[in-house]
Chain A
Amino acid sequence: MDSRWHGRLALGLLLAPALLWLGALIILPHVDLAVLSFRERVGPRQYAASLTQYRTFFAEPLYWHVFLRTAVMSVIATLLTLLLAFPIAWIIAKLARGRAGSLLFIICLIPFWVSETVRTLGWMILLRESGVLPALLVKLGLTAMPVELLYRDATILVGLVYTSLLFMVVPLVSSLESLDNSLIEAAYDLGAGGFSILRSIVIPHAAPGITAGCIVVFMLTLGNYLTPTLLGGKNSQWFTEQIYTQFITRFNWEQGAAFGFLLLALSTALVILGLAVSGQRFGDVMRRT
């Protein structure tokens, strides 16, 4: 009896920092935000419970347009990241031998030694009208005048994919490394071609890794503020900007809190949808990351 109680105490103490962090920094603020989002200011320092904040969201086309746009762009960015990261992960996991593999991995990691702000500013230096790439295009005779490459959807996507790449490569590499090469050879031997092997052997094996990478990248992208704002400027129309505006510019915390919850609902819904479509279970996927 006594020893069991000691065991529980030890477990509790071990978990305490994590639980404290979870409770104080995630659950408490969210409870407070939830309360905020369900009230309305009726007079100075006077508040009443209401659904006005959520009603405003649906009544004002700008808000839900931005909301949907953010969701669609995030999905596109996630898929592009997957398409780009898969061959990279394949090379690291299967083709590169020994040092070459770790070197490639480090090359993927190095950009993350620089802060996201500086990295994004780097993109701005390259892409702005008076920047490196437009000047190069003029020099090559491809454009008569320097073109503005910033403030376009494609630019935002480039920035988001660049920022997310590592988070896709890591789970993919670990799931591809665990794929036994003799399975690929056996499929080849039994008459399968490259595409058929990819579809029937490689992707089913890597599915938990693919799903894990997609969930992480999708959440990071959906909640990203800096990259869309800097690369997209006024045209970015990212939902996190709307939340920022409500909290900081408008000082409308109630509206901002409601937006925050809508974003949380969106990411949860899309992750569940993604898991359902790929036939994965959340627990299996998270064990792979």
Chain B
Amino acid sequence: MSTPDLVADAVVKRFADHLAVDSLSFSVERGSFFSILGPSGCGKTTLLRMIAGFIAPDGGDIAIGGKSMRDVPPNRRPVNMVFQQLALFPMMSVGENVAFGLARRGTPKAERLRRSNAMLERVGLGNAADKRVDELSGGQRQRVAIARSLVLEPTLLLLDEPLGALDLKLREHMKIELKQLQASFGTTFVYITHDQSEALVLSDHVGVMSHGRFEQLGTPQDLYYRPQTPFVAGFVGANNRIVGRTTQTDGAIAEIATADGWSVRALKIGAIAAGSAVEVFVRPEVAILARSEAQLPPDQPRHAGEVQSVLFDGANSAVLLQEARTRREFRIALPQTGQFSDLKPQEKVVFSFDPSRAVCFAARSGTEGQDA
């Protein structure tokens, strides 16, 4: 295996009394798409700016392409960044923007022109070289910003929430385009975002970040199906969260009772003591909805509920229930068969879920007894 393109080794950054990045270590394989996913203020921007070289870590080391980047300024790093607001130079044409980095390297003019035109061609903007930046649409600007960085053939391309400023439709489109660009160039991408859908769709690996640390690092499938911490379970994808205490912890499946007496079963993740506070997470698509108990799988614990509202959203339609006894909210994804298209509020329904596909964690301190 080749050396990873990016290795962070116990990187620490502190601002006054706030620990922004807390002794973080990870590596990113050559040619892969790595995302750092986290809510705002989790330290992901600080981490990205340390990789780019705009701020120096207080401790630890960052190596890019196998070389330590200690005391290497941003303009000498084999790294380029696509900024959140893109930061295209308005005083230059599109072609000059793309050729800017080459000019700084002293590439001769003819060579510069050839390479920047070839790069614009590759991102589908072959005829835009002489346009002004403000004549381009949002998506085109995005591509210019990426072309401007990729023309320098960096070891690593950093992307700082570049889709944040775009409207929803364009964002969906650019997501696909980014993934295709990364695949065709084979450059290692490090992408930061607070949008879990972007991270899941784009990445080979995702680090979920919170309070300066990685809660979990894995493939999108790992994060979604096998969350290792309650934060990841709550942050990645939609989830029903149920807080309670364990009543039975033998074997892989624990039995949990909420304070108001609802009993559910879920797979234990990590050490969980009997009688301790836990958080249970059940994905909306894991639960099965039915109008009568006979239609539910026979081996799953049954629950009863009342329809509160139907959330129709095409393929992402769901129903919001209230559990019969406790009136707790529970969300279930509607199957695409159309069998529940006539579901009405106040209708009595039953549901169940496979306990091995629901997860429970020891409750985080400070969240005990609180509901989502």
Contact = CB atoms under 8 A, between A and B. Distances in A.
B75 interface: yes
Given A180-B85, A182-B85, A190 B101 contact: yes
A194 to B, nearest CB: 9
A186 B104 contact: no
Interface string A173-201: 00000001011011111111100100011
B87 interface: yes
A30 interface: no
B150 to A, nearest CB: 11
A274 interface: no
A6 to B, nearest CB: 39
A94 interface: no
Interface in A106-142: none
A178 B74 CA distance: 23
B91 A190 contact: no
In this complex, the interface size class of chain B, counting residues with CB under 8 Å from chain A, is 20 to 34
B213 to A, nearest CB: 26
A200 B85 contact: no
A65 interface: no
Contacts of A288: none
Given A180-B85, A182-B83, A196-B104, A189 B75 contact: yes
Given A190-B80, A190-B149, A190-B152, A185 B87 contact: yes
A192 B52 contact: no
Contacts of A200: 89, 91-92, 100
B105 interface: yes
A84 to B, nearest CB: 25
Interface residues of A, number: 17
Contact of B52 (A183, A189, A191, A201): A189
A204 interface: yes
Nearest to B77: A189
Contacts of A205: 90-91
Given A182-B83, A196-B104, A200-B100, A188 B74 contact: yes
Interface string B75-109: 11001110111011111100000001100110000
A182 B48 CA distance: 14
With a 10 A CB-CB cut-off, give which of A187, A189, A192, A200 has the most chain B CB atoms: A189
Interface in A140-196: 180, 182-183, 185-193, 196
B205 interface: no
Contact of B81 (A183, A186, A193, A204): A186
Given A185-B83, A186-B81, A191 B89 contact: no
Contacts of B52: 189
B148 A190 contact: yes
Given A186-B81, A190-B104, A191-B105, A201 B89 contact: yes
Contact of A187 (B53, B85, B89, B149): B89
B134 to A, nearest CB: 14
B89 A183 contact: yes
A201 B73 CA distance: 19
Nearest to B148: A190
A205 B149 CA distance: 22
Interface in B5-52: 52
A204 B91 contact: yes
Contacts of A201: 89, 91
A182 B81 CA distance: 11
B104 A183 contact: no
Nearest to B49: A185
Given A185-B54, A186-B81, A191 B87 contact: no
Interface in A50-88: none
Interface string B150-189: 0010000000000000000000000000000000000000
B91 A192 contact: no
A196 B152 CA distance: 17
16 contacts: A182-B84, A182-B85, A182-B87, A183-B87, A185-B83, A186-B87, A187-B89, A188-B54, A189-B81, A190-B104, A191-B75, A191-B76, A191-B104, A193-B75, A200-B100, A205-B91
Interface of B: 52-54, 73-76, 79-81, 83-85, 87-92, 100-101, 104-105, 148-149, 152
Given A182-B87, A190-B100, 19 more contacts: A183-B89, A185-B54, A185-B81, A186-B81, A188-B54, A188-B74, A188-B75, A189-B53, A189-B54, A189-B74, A189-B75, A190-B75, A190-B104, A190-B148, A192-B75, A193-B104, A196-B104, A200-B100, A201-B91
Across the A-B interface, give the 3 residue pairs with the lowest CB-CB distance, nearest first.
Answer: A190-B101, A186-B87, A191-B104
